[in-house]
Structures are given as C-alpha cells and as structure tokens.
Structure 1
Amino acid sequence: MTSTPSRTLSAGIERWPIAGSFTISRGAKTEAVVVVAEIRQGSLTGRGECVPYPRYGETPDATLQAILAMQEPLTIGMDRGALQARMQAGAARNALDCALSDLEAKLAGERIWTLLGRPAPKPCTTAYTISLAAPEAMAEATAKAAHRALLKIKLGGDGDADRIRAVRLAAPRSELIVDANEAWAEDNLAANFKACADAGVTLIEQPLPAGKDEALSRIKRPVAVCADESVHDRASLAGLRGRYDAVNIKLDKTGGLTEALAMADAARGLGFEIMIGCMVATSLSMAPAMLIAQAARFVDLDGPLLLARDRDNGLRYDGSLVDPPDAALWG
C-alpha cells in the first residue's frame, strides 16, 4: 500500500483597497476582504481565493476557521469529490476547491481545463460595474466608461428609473445590464421593467428579494431576468423556472469550481441562460471562473478592475477584454 503524499494547509485574510468605493443597495465598502487557502504538497502549492459574504452570514474569521478545520482531512487524502460531501456550499469550500484544482494541475503538469475535459478558455469581454449613486453621479461615472462594450449598473430602489435613463444617455452604444440586488418591490416592478425596456437594457439581475420573488411568475417580463441571490447551486435551480430566464453563477455561492461547472451544465439543460459573476476580489478569484465564462451569455469578472491594485501575475485586461489565467496565477 502506498501512503498519501503529505499535504499541508495554510490560509489567511487579505485586504485589498478598492479604487474609490463600491456601492450597492446594501451599502458601500472601500476594500475587498478575501481569504486565501494554500495547499502544499512537496514543492508545489495550490491556491484558492474566496470572498465571505455577510448576506449569507459569512465572516472572514469564520471562513478562515472553516478552511483551517480541513487540515486533517486533507492530510489523509481528501480530494475535490470528498470536499463536496464534507463541506456545505459557500466561500470556505470555494477557496479549498480552487486550491485543490490548482494543486491537481501543478502535480500533473497540465492545465486544469485539460484535466477536467473542458475546452481551453479564450479571451472574453467582461462587464464593468457602475456603483449605485444619484443619477447625475452615475451618469458621470458611466460617461467615463462609455467606451466599454458591456456595463453593469447597480440600482437601489427609489429613483431607479431616473438612474437607468441617465446611464443610457451617458452610454448610448454600450450594452447594459442592471442589478437591483433585491431592492425592488412588487408595486414598482412593472414601472422599473418598463424603464429598463425603454432604455434597451438586456438583463435585470435579482429585482426582488430572494424568497419573495413570486411576482416574477405573474408579470410580463419585457427584459430577461437573472437570479442571483435566489440561486446558489444545482439544488436551487428547479424552483426558478417560470420566474427567471438566466442564473448568475458565482463560485463563492456554489462552493467552488467543481459545483459551478456542474451547475452550469444543469442550468443550460433546464433552458437558463448563464451569467458568470464575481465579488470584488483579485485575479485569483476570477481565474477559475474563466472556465464558466466560455459558455456564458453574460460575463461579469471585473473584480480586479475595481481594485487600486491586483496581485502579482494577475489576469490581463485590455479594456474589457480579459485573457485566461497564466499557470503562474492559477490552474
């Protein structure tokens, strides 16, 4: 019997300053707080990054402890498959799943997409996010980004119709998607849908609170609607039919690339369009998501563009065009 090669686990909390601030309907922040897991075997180290999200009751400290609690299972040979059964979906599992994927690729001397039997990722166009603010301020920020092909507009409830109109005037040629982050209500849904349709918006993300989105099955949807907070992993897909046209897959919600790939396949099988999304984080968070981006109708992997600086060997962005990761970064 051969013994399992020794693996050691380390993890830490990192803080990356945001260029300015990032504002959505639930508040503003000036830094991205991420947790990085590293799994070392011999001279090789696999890395994964996650973003704990208070919306789901996650904190950096609790996420860090959940990751470090997996030292013994990793020592005795826990792989990605066993990880799915041992941990629930969420940020901590995402960091470990991506670190295991990275290590697997390094040990094999192959890119991870080859090992997974997936096509090699190609450059893709990402959305660029405009933070929530007054219509005039959003129009000013949009005008500076109007050269970008795809803009994602953060909305927040009262006054959103004015924000939508102001943004469209500032970027007449850009494709627009909007993200309400659960801030709309049933009584303003029709008016906000009309404002989006009039402005030529392509997609509306999560207009109503998760668990309170029944109205979406009763109202005519003139613009495609995408689930974000209402969808997490494959188990949550079936209940979305009739309410949503697309699903936003984020690795911090699915608990890693392993579930995200399976979820994307299942979602397409149910007729949903795919959006690949992100939290504000470094390129280490974006890199695994590039595998999902290849079959996504909408790509939103602009996290590093919102930071004051990115980590070494980060993804290459040429405007809104983002290249696949180099092996020095991940995978």
Structure 2
Amino acid sequence: METSVKNLSIEKVKTSRLSEIDFDNLSFGSVFADHMLICEYVDGAWQSPKIVPYQPLSLEPSAKVFHYGQAIFEGMKAYKDSEGGVWLFRPQENQKRLNISAKRLAMPELPEEVFMDGLRTLLQLDEKWIPQAAGSSLYVRPFMFASGTGFHASPADSYTFIIACAPSGAYFSGKVSVLIEEKYSRAANGGVGYAKAGGNYAGQFYPTQLAVDKGYQQVIWTDDVSHEYIEEAGAMNVFVRIGDTLITSPVSDRILDGVTRKSILTLAEDLGIPTEVRKISVHELVEAAKEGSLKELFGAGTAAVISPIASFGYKGKDYELPELEDSYAHKLKKMITDIQYNRAEDKFGWRYSVL
C-alpha cells in the first residue's frame, strides 16, 4: 500500500470483526472499524504515524486532557459509490480547521500529509467497512488531545492525534422541534466557539436536556450578550428562508465555519437562490412566522447534511413551519449527497478520491 507519509507503519488486525457486524442495523457512532491511525507529539515534534488495530488507550490520571480540556476533533464521512469507488467530501477543509482549532487551544498544528495521506491509507485499509447501502457511509473522526501529564495549569508537553472510523446507516432526524434559548450561550466573543473543541459540546448538553424535558428535540442558540440573534441550531449551523431568500449567520468567534454551510451557500448561489449572510434576529424570525413569510428553517452539518426544522418555540409559544413539496432543504441536500456519492457532476472540485 503506497503512501507519501514518511515512515508510516501498518499493523493489521489478526482477524477482522467485519463478519460480526449487522450493516443493515447500524446506530450512529457505536460500531468501530478494524484499524485506527495514531500519531504522537513528543519532545517538540510529531513522530512517525502508525496504523494499528482499533484498541483502548492507556493514559495517566494526570494527563492534562482530563484537567484542562485540551481536546479538539473533526467530523467527516467516507462514501462508496455504486461502482465501489470511495470518496471524501472536501477533506482539506477539515484538515485546515483542525489546525485552526489546535492553534486556538495552544496545541501543536498537525502536518497536512499526516492528516491527508494517513487518512487515505487508513480508508484504503478499511475499505470493506464503508457501507454501500443508500444513505450509509463511514463516519470518520479525527481528534487530538493533551496526553502530557501534570497538574500545573499550562499547555501539555505531549499530544496524541487519532483517526477512528465508525460505519453508520442513513441518518433520519424525523420532525424536529427546537426551542430558542433565552438564558444559556453556546459560545462568547473572544472564546473558542469557532474551534471544534470538546468542551463546546459538553457545555451544550445541560441546556439541551432542559429543552428536551419541555418536549423539544434541540436548541437554537442565541448570542451571548442580548440573546437577540440566532446563531446555531444544536451542533449545526442554521439557515432561515424568508420568502425566496436563504439567510445564515456570519461566522465569528462564536460560530463554527461549517463545511456543509459553505457548500450550501455556494450551491444556492449557483442555483440563483438569493442568499444573505447576516445577523438574524429572533424578532425577525417570529414576525416572519406570524406573517407567513418564514418558509424554512434548517440545520446544516456533517451527520445529517441538512436537518429541516418543523417548528420552534419562543417565550411559551410554538410556531409551525409550512411543509413544502419543493423545499430548498430537500433540493440542496440532494445536490450535496449526489456529489458525495459520485452520482452527479462535481464542478466545484469537492470530491476527493480515496480508492
């Protein structure tokens, strides 16, 4: 197996677990492929990466990830087309964003070739773990954490980078009802909201559970100062359609620069759909819902691609969105997935060949 990563070693599993897996009944992120890539940062330098059997890790109780939260990750998918070809979708964007997150959390940036070529080699090795059923894929999770030890509040002196993979079936979210958050914030100005830091997600769980207890599935986050402007939907970027115009919030210290978000904006503009990247106030959203000009509200991210929102709650009142036969959400999701699964022309150069 060819790779341009210097000194990449490969230790294959003695016996694959493939035969034990029911690929017709895969829950998200609970079954893991045979191998993982691991690369250590010690003595001020990244060491030679290794592909090894998927296995537990051994860490000291004093590993700084447990105490000071230096942990970042990315989320991607590998797709298999009808001819057995394997593809990634804009993986260079994930590689760049991982290093943006690393820099913000005072972690070492990872060499591009370790991420890209190591990922490609790992997927070639575990190619049979990529499902071919409609809507299925291999979820890919690159992540990095502080493995260096010590109780002193400072950056670690060593780090571990891993890529692990999990086959997943088609993602169906059903009808989603969300609550507009009025008290808690996902992120703040000057903070780490734009980084894919693990702590960002830990902080979301409690307010989300409060919303679930009220009968909603998710939260729409608002700005940290006034709670007047909507920013993200759960762990996804959020889009609003008022009339024929598709609107999304600008990226900032608080808002993640989502790969799916960028792709939606490009495709919408290519289709001639009017788009606006600007602040969206809760007042504007509520008034549009009352007037009937609010046509769609949806989240955008790797797992679901696009997740339509059926209703939202605010100040004790629920607002229903219309069910459209020819929605932007359906049209744009189909365009993205057709590119991902090699069913359509990719004039933007987003598809990345693995095999």
TM-score bracket, normalised by the shorter chain, equals: under 0.3
Q: Greater helix percent: which structure? A: 1
Q: Greater strand percent: which structure? A: 2
TM-score (normalised: structure 1): 0.27
TM-score (normalised: structure 2): 0.26
